[in-house]
Amino acid sequence: MEEIDGNAILAQALKEQGIEYVFGICGFPVIELSMALQTAGIHYIGMRNEQAACYAAQAIGYLTGVPGGVLVVSGPGLLHVCAGMANAQVNCWPVVVIGGSCPQDHEGIGGFQECYQVELARPYCKYSARPPSLALIPQHVEKAVRLATYGRPGAVYLDFPGNLLQARTTIDKIPKQYTAPEIPVIYPEPRKIDEAAALIMGAQRPLVIVGKGAAYARAEGQVRELVDSTNLPFLATPMGKGVVSDTNPNSIQPARSLALQRADVVLLLGARLNWILHFGRPPRYNPNVKVIQIDVCAEELNNSVKAAVAIQSDLKPAVGQLVQSLKRRNFTFSKNSDWWNDLNKKIQDNKRKVQEMTLDVSEPLNYYAVFHHLQEVLPQNPIIVSEGANTMDIGRAVLMNGLPRHRLDAGTFGTMGVGLGFAIAAALYCRHFEPKKRVICVEGDSAFGFSGMEIETMVRYKLPVIIVVVNNSGIYGGLPQEVYKDLQESGEVTKVTPPTTLFTSTHYEKMMTMFGRQGYHCTTIAELQKAVKEALKETEGPSIINVIISPSADRKPQDFNWLTESKL
């Protein structure tokens, strides 16, 4: 009878569960496993950092609906990947982490990189386990993938000691019944849908908020029909952008603060009332606002504030039924209402303020001018990866998304360092599913520093990512070159250099010369647009466009502090 080892059993089990991409870093005891994955027909992408590997894997899970895999070595390898697992768990993206661990007969006596890995991973995932035998590997893989995707998606961890991966058995002892399960669909209570429809129809100032849960659920068709058939105003969370196009006339993104503060009924679609939405509480919301909450996760209902109507359901059937309920009642919200007039007035006012900054192309440049003129030369509907503080927040308002799952950013956990990993996943997705689509990775210079060496990964796998570094020489902001120079010459630089300062106008584009390639250094809008046009011609690898902006560039004045304190 033919023999098989643990590496091959695990690789085949992952393939049988639909896993197509595994990102990782090789080392003891998983080198042979990485090769077995490729033998099983799985794409293996070797990364430069475990965190970036996990960020890439969860992004591919979000883009495809099928979890990505992460392969890490024992001890420090798993510790490094915990940040990525936590980000996937909080962000609700499916990912399967596979960790090698020290041989079982070395445990308790100081084995190489010995670590209590199953317990270590458990706080950051939905399921953490170590298969006790070769025959049970397929069962644990099936359960891990099932839990990563069922309900609210998230991270799972499976631990494999070196001796288990190297062990051998005959092929007839490995069970075959663990086929990939179909994800169940939760349907709403019809009574709750009618309650929601009645509440919307009675609203004077209704508002729809679209979250990334709607994008992950592939509910864009239903949500667009809801908005278009009712004339309801809508806002999108950062990664909910594109579920309904940013250019849709019902988008009131420029009037976000006013809309949240005055809405009397809020329909929440695949979004949580956490810090991104200011917890749903005053002063950012009307104290008497009524919330209609639709979420696949029952535990999320009535969280932070009590919902007027709380519906546990997948978004596709729930929104589809809500649309039909409103159509039966011939409901359309008037575009001539006082609410729409107030919103439109605020939209035009804020657009004028932003336009003033976008048209200011004096040097050094500001964020708004960079993003506005970048948008002018981008191809239609690229996937935009956005990372940084002001870079991400201002970019969300200026860089438009017309399709769902076309914006990837720091997300609910606010994690820095995700950008290049997300971009690698997006480029692989485009290669295999939409080969004509481009990936634009817009990074602050601080954010770029977290994972900048992943450009080598992009070069190695010929991924044509365009990285735009918006360089203000600091975290939030830096110093003018002459001030920075004076501080460097003062002697005690660690005592006088502001903690948010980075080296001034660093030439990040020169990193491309390491690979015999050319980067772009830009200080003007003309140089920026020329560089983007040149980079778009590159189809065999990444490009870096380093755009120098003012160290004191900032966002437009806000009506509220961006992070509203919770009033307990």
Q: Is residue 182 part of a domain?
A: no
Confidence (pLDDT) at 566 = 42
pTM above 0.85, yes or no: yes
Confidence (pLDDT) at 111 = 83
Whether 125 and 274 share a structural domain: no
Do 545 and 532 form a contact (C-beta atoms < 8 A)?
yes
Q: What is the CATH number of the domain that holds 215?
A: 3.40.50.1220
Whether 41 and 86 share a structural domain: yes
Whether 421 and 469 share a structural domain: yes
The dihedral through the CA atoms of 50, 56, 60, 63 has a sign that is positive
Helices (H) and strands (E) in the chain, counts: 21, 19
Whether 392 and 475 share a structural domain: yes
What are the tokens at 437?
């689509």
Q: Is residue 564 part of a domain?
A: no
Q: Is residue 166 part of a domain?
A: yes
Q: Are strands 3-5 and 168-170 parallel, antiparallel or unpaired?
A: antiparallel
Q: Which domain holds residue 432?
A: 360-548
Do 100 and 77 form a contact (C-beta atoms < 8 A)?
yes
**How many structural domains compose the chain?**
3
Whether 23 and 58 share a structural domain: yes
Confidence (pLDDT) at 95 = 98
The CA distance from 199 to 179, in Å, is: 44
Quick check: helix, strand or coil at residue 141? helix
3-state secondary structure 1-52: CCEEEHHHHHHHHHHHCCCCEEEECCCCCCHHHHHHHHHCCCEEEECCCHHH
Do 90 and 412 form a contact (C-beta atoms < 8 A)?
yes
Q: Pick the last residue of a domain from 148, 173, 198.
A: 173
Do 23 and 56 form a contact (C-beta atoms < 8 A)?
yes
Q: Is residue 567 part of a domain?
A: no
The CA distance from 400 to 248, in Å, is: 11
Tens digit of pLDDT at every position of the chain (568 positions): 799 999 999 999 999 999 999 999 999 999 999 999 999 999 999 999 999 999 999 999 999 999 999 999 999 999 999 999 999 999 999 999 999 999 888 888 888 888 999 999 999 999 999 999 999 999 999 999 999 999 999 999 999 999 999 999 999 999 987 887 789 999 999 999 999 999 999 999 999 999 999 999 999 999 999 999 999 999 999 999 999 999 999 999 999 999 999 999 999 999 999 999 999 999 999 999 999 999 999 999 999 999 999 999 999 999 999 999 999 999 999 999 999 999 999 999 999 999 999 999 999 999 999 999 999 999 999 999 999 989 999 999 999 999 999 999 999 999 999 999 999 999 999 999 999 999 999 999 999 999 999 999 999 999 999 999 999 999 999 999 999 999 988 888 999 999 999 999 999 999 999 999 999 999 999 999 999 999 999 999 999 999 999 999 987 666 556 565 543 3
Q: Is residue 557 part of a domain?
A: no
Q: Pick the last residue of a domain from 116, 140, 173.
A: 173
Q: Is residue 350 part of a domain?
A: no
Confidence (pLDDT) at 181 = 75
Whether 20 and 167 share a structural domain: yes
Q: Write phi, then psi, for 257 (nearest 5 degrees).
A: -60, -45
Whether 161 and 206 share a structural domain: no
Whether 367 and 334 share a structural domain: no
Q: Is residue 565 part of a domain?
A: no
Q: Is residue 558 part of a domain?
A: no
Whether 543 and 430 share a structural domain: yes
Q: Are strands 206-210 and 43-46 parallel, antiparallel or unpaired?
A: unpaired
Confidence (pLDDT) at 499 = 94
Burial zone of 499 (CB within 10 Å; 0-12 exposed, 13-18 middle, 19+ buried):
exposed
Whether 167 and 195 share a structural domain: no
Whether 9 and 149 share a structural domain: yes
Residue 545 Cα distances to 11, 69, 205, 440, angstroms: 39, 31, 44, 11
Confidence (pLDDT) at 564 = 57
The residue length of the chain stands at: 568
Do 519 and 511 form a contact (C-beta atoms < 8 A)?
yes
Q: What is the CATH number of the domain that holds 443?
A: 3.40.50.970
Q: Pick the last residue of a domain from 315, 345, 375.
A: 345
The dihedral through the CA atoms of 106, 111, 116, 121 has a sign that is negative
Whether 245 and 109 share a structural domain: no
